[in-house]
Structures are given as C-alpha cells and as structure tokens.
Amino acid sequence: MSDNTITVYSVHETKMQYNIEQIPLFVESQQKKAFVAFDFANRIIQGDCEEVLKAIPDNSIDLIVTSPPYADQRISTYGGIKPDQYVSWFMPKADQFFRVLKPTGSFILNIKERVVNGERHTYVLELILEMKKHGWLWTEEYMWHKKNSPPGKWPNRFRDSWERLLHFTKQKKFNMYQDAVMVPVGDWSKTRLKNLSETDKRRDNSRVGSGFGKNISNWVGRDLVYPSNVLHMATECYNQQHSAAFPEELPEWFIKLFTQTGDVILDPFNGSGTTCVAADRLDRKYLGIDLSEEYCKLAINRLQDMRNKRGEKKNE
Amino acid sequence: MSDNTITVYSVHETKMQYNIEQIPLFVESQQKKAFVAFDFANRIIQGDCEEVLKAIPDNSIDLIVTSPPYADQRISTYGGIKPDQYVSWFMPKADQFFRVLKPTGSFILNIKERVVNGERHTYVLELILEMKKHGWLWTEEYMWHKKNSPPGKWPNRFRDSWERLLHFTKQKKFNMYQDAVMVPVGDWSKTRLKNLSETDKRRDNSRVGSGFGKNISNWVGRDLVYPSNVLHMATECYNQQHSAAFPEELPEWFIKLFTQTGDVILDPFNGSGTTCVAADRLDRKYLGIDLSEEYCKLAINRLQDMRNKRGEKKNE
DNA sequence: GTTCCGCATGAATCGATAG
DNA sequence: ACTATCGATTCATGCGGAA
C-alpha cells in the first residue's frame, strides 16, 4: 500500500477489464466533502476498512454482511490477530460500521470462537458485550449450520459444524422484509397436503359445498412458511485457490431479508467478494473493502464474470 | 418443605409405589459423614440443589446434564429469576456442581437467552465468563437444533429454533467415549430426517426399553462416522400435563458420550426427570433433584413405568 | 393390522391495553 | 414512565381415532 492512497476498482461493461483509480482519502472535513461526491456504490476498495470508511458519510449503508478474519486466521493479510487482542482490534472498525449504517439498517457478523488450549476462547462473548457498550443492539443470533463441515478428529471434541451469525442493529425498529425469504413448507404437510387433496377430490364427488372443502381452501396455495433462525447451508469454495468465507446463499438470504432493490450493502472484509456478488445479482449496490490487492482483483473478476454471464443471458 | 428435611424418593420393584424417607441433611461434618453412607444413587430428591448437594461427597458424579429454569420461566416453581440476577442466582449452585463432579467428568448445560426489550439478553454470555472465573473450562458449545420450535411471527425476528448446550469440564482431559455415538454415514441420516415412519420405528424401539444397542445392531454392516457438534432433535410435546424440557434423546446422547455403564449422572434441575429416565435406561445410576414435589413424583412415576415395562419385556 | 388425518400443544414474542 | 396481563401470530410433531 502506498501512502495516503487506496485503490478503487469498478466493474465496466467491457469484458475482463477494470479501471483502477487513485483517490486521496485520508483527509480532513473540507476535502472529505469533496470525496463524498465520489460514488462509492458498486466499488471494491483496497485498504483498511477502518480508514476507508472514514470517507463514507454517516447513515449511508443499508446492510453490512461480513466475515472478519477470525483470530489467528488470514495471517498473511491481517497479521493474525491474537485472540486476546481481538476485541480491541475489532471495535474501532465496529464504530465506523455504526456510523455509516442507516438507523434502519442491520449488521450481520459471521464469527466463531477458536479453540485455544483445549477451550473455546471467549473473545466473541466479550465482543458482543463491548458492542453493546458502543451503542449496538444485540437483536438476534442466527445459527449457520454448516452441513459439510471440514473433517477432523480430536479426543475432546467433534467436528465444528456451526457458526454464529450475530445480528446487530442501531434501533429496535429496523427494516425487515420477511416475505422475501419464505420457504416451502416442510415435508410433513407436503405429504399430508397431497393426501388431503386426494381425499378432497373423493369427498368432492360425494358431497359438494360442505364445510370440509372450505377447510381445504385454507391450505391450498399456502406453500410457503416463514423460516426460523437456523440456516442450513453447505460451505462452498469459489475455486481451488481462494475459499470463500461463506456460500453465496448466505449473504443472499440476509440481503433479501434486510434490504430492497437499490439499497447499499457493505462488506468491510470483502475477501473473494461473495457478499458483493450476491448483492449485485439481487440488484442491490455494493461496497467491498479488503486489505489484499489479490482479493480485490479476484472479487472484481468474479463481479465482471457474473455481469458478462447475465449480459449473455439477456441477449439470448 | 419442612425445616431441615428433604424428601428422598426411590423406585422399587412394586408397581406404582414409592418410598419417602425423611433424612436430615443440613448438618455439620460429623453428621454429614453419616449421611454420606446413604446411597444417593438412583434417588430423586426434593429440595434446593444447592443445599442438597452439600450432602454429596466431592468428586462423586461422572456427568451433570441439566436444563435450569431460564430467566422469567417456570415461575410457579422457581419464582421466575430475573435476567439481571441470573448469574448471581446460578453461580453458588455451579460451585456445588464443580465440587461434586469428578475431575474427569463433564457438565452439560442446556440454556438459551431470552429476548428482553427486543434484544437478546446477555446473561448467558456473562454466565460463561463467570463460570471460567470459578474454575470451569468452557470446553465446547454444542448446538441443539429444535426442529419443532414454537410458532410465532414478529416484525424483528423469526422463530427461535436453537438452544445452547454448553460443555464445561474441570480439566483439559476428561472422559469421552466418541465411538458410543457414531452414526451411519450419509443416506441414513437423510432418510431419518425426512422419513417420519423411520423415526417412529426408532422411537418405539427406544421406548420399549431395550436401549439403543438393538438399533445399533441394525446398523451393522453400514459405515459409521463420528457426529458433529450440532444435534437435530425435536422437542417432545406429547399430550401430557408436564412437558419435558428436552427430548430423551438429548441426555441419552451425552450420557453415552461421556459415561460408561454404572457411572453416576446428576440432574440438579430434574423437572419431569428426562435425564434420569435416560440414565436408567442406559444402565447408569442417576440422582435427580428438584424443588417441586409434584415434579419429583412425576419423575419417580416415569422411572417406575419404565422399570415395569422393561420387566415385562424381560419376561416375554 | 396399517395408514391417514384432525387436533392440541409448545422454556416465544410483540404490541396494545390497563392499573 | 413503568410493570402486568392478554390476544394475535404461527408451524412441526405426536397422539388418538377413523378409514
């Protein structure tokens, strides 16, 4: 990274091309205003999210979905944050997240505590408590059940197949579009409904207009139910080189749940850019930030690939 | 409850009968020794677990599995512990658990935080931190996915379908018999989740009282793999007056995982006695403690019923 | 003897209403 | 302003009676 500059990537229509603009960021209030004129939507920015976000205005982001480097992970990029220092490393960034997030917005934090000396470390618990002190509401904890967790065998524990999806908000009331993530009803009523309709037909022949038929009408067309706070998703790898933190399904679910078309989604630890890809696919705007130039380029390539594919599809 | 006495229930062969013995408990060291001679194995004791356990010797329990009253729940029995006071209510009891647990033993705590003012309360997080201060190791957090969670719809959250199963130990090295909970690979678990009749068959087998050995024999020839730290189990809500906090499968799994035949399992918030029933079925010894006389009687009745059924089966 | 369906039942939570 | 109570919302499951 060169001094006082960051690199901004953006996707263009041209296949396999991207522009790199050098933009001064770390500026005082006057110049900051000028920068604000810069459209940060649909950009991938290389830099430290804590610094980059200082150039983003208050209350301008609708949703933050991210999976920060866990303690002692992504050492080459983030230097491997020590578990004991995790909270103090994270909180200045969380303060920026708080500032840029709209009052009606949500922050989804994918995280899981490491095992240290045979014990689960407590930095995630401490992080939640500290977030509250900094004004965040710990609204909910969703559970990601990783259906295909990596194998492994230890004498004192099994494979770790779940991760936390902490849901923080700024207010008790926030935007939530529950209908957007309704799911087909369970196998239970599928089979029952199937059988029910057969019975219905049978009875319909013998007796028309009874109250029974009315009962059926309540079920017919009601294929969808609201999900719970447990998400069952398999992990996926974008390619052999760079494994994604989570499958595209995951940010997709929260993007549909907490935003509408045109809203802006931020991933401050963008990595291979799964959040941005999901956002773009769902016609939302994205802002991805990552320290690593390699990851930024990978992300922009993925976004370009997807745009191209969608373009081809349109022309078909 | 009368002064200085507790009520001890034990199962006998005679159908639908139980003995009630009055035993002085809250005594000093000399008399305590006398009490220790009393066999606490396979007993249901009515009283406050914090006091009752003072009569149990150090390092005498192999496994503790329990689901304490959550904050503001089970008000009629426990008076409804306020969320803010939960940790200070719980810790003196946890100290006794620590004392009576063998160094190689495990403590499984089923708990979940309430929503208070639209936010998840932090008393569970604080409890974990406090447990560590009192010497416990937070070894693992298992996840109970409740497939049939209570319904409901709110503007800011979905149905809560998971609970924590906190695994505390006294040492880094503890007893764990992983082979005892191995499961058939792949398709079996899929069919089990989807095929209801398959589940029913398994359930029936376990209810009859032959334990799980019989089922395992059905799996011979299939490849067994170790499970993960996510448990998929439905709550039992059969039409009775007293519903169990968790399904029998749940303590069963941990009993097989952390104990051997003849070991002693403690549930200090015994409730309807699901833990003890599972322990007895698996030929372990149990000690159940509960404040409520009604629950104690219910538990002993369940244990007697099971004994009777197992006896009938033997005679067949 | 099976299979199938109606129904009750949750360790819930929110918002409105009442004291 | 703060607490207490009540109705509305909603779905997977097991049980019991029916086909």
**For B101-145, what is each residue's pLDDT tens digit?**
999 999 999 999 989 999 999 999 999 999 999 999 999 999 999
Q: What's the pTM value of the predicted model, to 2 decimals?
A: 0.86
pLDDT band at A37 (very low <50, low <70, confident <90, very high): very low
Chain B residues inside the 8 Å CB shell of A117: 172
Query: Are residues A226 and B159, on separate chains, in Cβ contact within 8 Å?
Result: yes
Q: Name the pLDDT band for A187 (thresholds 50, 70, 90).
A: low
Yes or no: say if B276 and B264 are a contact pair by the CB < 8 Å rule.
no
B301's CB contacts (< 8 A; 6+ apart) are B16, B18
* Position with higher pLDDT, A194 vs A315: A315
Nearest to B143 among A143, A178, A228 (CB): A143
Per cent of chain B over pLDDT 90 is: 47
Mean pLDDT lowest among A215-229, A289-303, B13-27, B48-62: B13-27
Structure token digits, residue A88: 């103090």
Confidence category of residue A9, pLDDT binned at 50, 70, 90: confident
pLDDT value for B83? 87
Which pLDDT tens digit goes with each residue over B186-230? 544 443 333 323 333 333 333 322 333 334 444 445 678 999 999
Q: Are A42 and A263 in contact (CB under 8 A)?
A: no
Give the per-residue pLDDT at A315: 60
Q: Give the chain B residue whose CA is nearest to the CA of A154.
A: B178
For the residues A62-73, what does the mean pLDDT come to? 87
Per-residue pLDDT, averaged over B77-99, amounts to 88
> In 10 A of CB A5, how many CB atoms?
15
Q: What is the pLDDT of residue B5?
A: 62
φ/ψ of B13, rounded to 5, equals -65, -35
- Minimum CA–C1' distance nucleotide for B163: C11
User: Residue B297's pLDDT is what?
Assistant: 86
Distances (CA, A) of A314 to A12, A18, A310, B161: 17, 22, 6, 40
Which nucleotide is closest, CA of B207 to its C1'?
D14
- H helix and E strand count, chain B: 11, 14
A149 and B178 within 8 Å at the Cβ level: the answer is no
For chain A, the average pLDDT equals 79
Mean pLDDT lowest among A261-275, B118-132, B153-167, B292-306: B292-306
Average pLDDT over residues B240-247: 71
Closest residue (Cα, C1') to C10: B150
Token digits for A251?
């940010």
Per-residue pLDDT reduced to its tens digit, A129-148: 999 999 999 999 999 999 88
Residues 256-315 of A with CB under 7 A from strand D: none
pLDDT at position B240 = 53
Q: Is the pLDDT of residue A275 over 50?
A: yes
The string of DSSP codes covering B201-268 is HHHHHHHHT--SHHHHHHHTTSPEE--BSEEEEPPP--SSSS--SS-THHHHHHHHHH--TT-EEEES
What pLDDT is attached to residue A80?
76
The pLDDT of residue B244 is 74
Interatomic separation, CA of residue B248 and C1' of nucleotide C6, rounded (Å): 27
Residue B73 pLDDT > 80, yes or no?
no
Radius of gyration over every alpha carbon of chain A, rounded to an integer in angstroms: 23
Q: Please give the nucleotide, over all strands, whose C1' is closest to the CA of residue B72.
A: C11
Whole-number pLDDT of residue A316 = 55
> Across residues A48-70, what is the average pLDDT?
91
Question: Quick one: pLDDT band at residue B11, thresholds 50, 70, 90?
Answer: confident
Range with the lowest mean pLDDT among A234-248, B17-31, B206-220?
B206-220
Question: Quick check: B118 CB within 7 A of strand D?
Answer: no
Averaged over B3-10, what is the pLDDT?
70
The HSE-up count of residue B24 (CA atoms within 13 Å, CB side) is 8
- Estimate in Å the CA A209 to C1' D18 gap, whole number: 22
Answer whether B267's CB lies under 8 Å from B284's CB: no
Q: Which residues of B touch A122 (CB under 8 A)?
A: 128-129, 132, 138
What pLDDT score was predicted for residue A172? 93
With contacts defined as CB-CB under 8 Å, which chain B residues touch A149?
228
The pLDDT of residue B10 is above 70: yes
Q: What is the mean pLDDT of residues B38-66?
A: 88
Q: What pLDDT, on a 0 to 100 scale, did the predictor assign at position B301?
A: 86
Q: Which residues of A touch B136 (CB under 8 A)?
A: none
pLDDT at A38: 54
Whether B75 has a pLDDT exceeding 70, the answer reads no
- Does A170 or B235 have the greater pLDDT score? A170
Give nucleotides in strand D with any atom < 7 A to a protein C-beta: 8-16
Distance CA B181, CA A125 (A): 29
Nearest nucleotide from residue B66 CA, by C1' atom: C11
What letter does residue A208 receive in the DSSP assignment? Answer: S
Q: Tell me, in Å, how far CA of B153 is from C1' of D8?
A: 9
Given a cut of 60, whether residue B89 has pLDDT beyond it is yes
How much is the pLDDT for B294? 84
* pLDDT tier at A309, thresholds 50, 70, 90: confident
Contacts of B122 in chain A (CB under 8 A): 128-129, 132, 138
Residue of B nearest to A178 (CA): B155
Residue B315 has pLDDT above 80, yes or no: no
Nearest to B229 among A129, A157, A174 (CB): A157
Q: Cβ separation of A139 and B149 shorter than 8 Å? A: no
Would you state the pLDDT for residue A256? 97
Residue A182 CA and nucleotide D7 C1' are separated, in Å, by 25
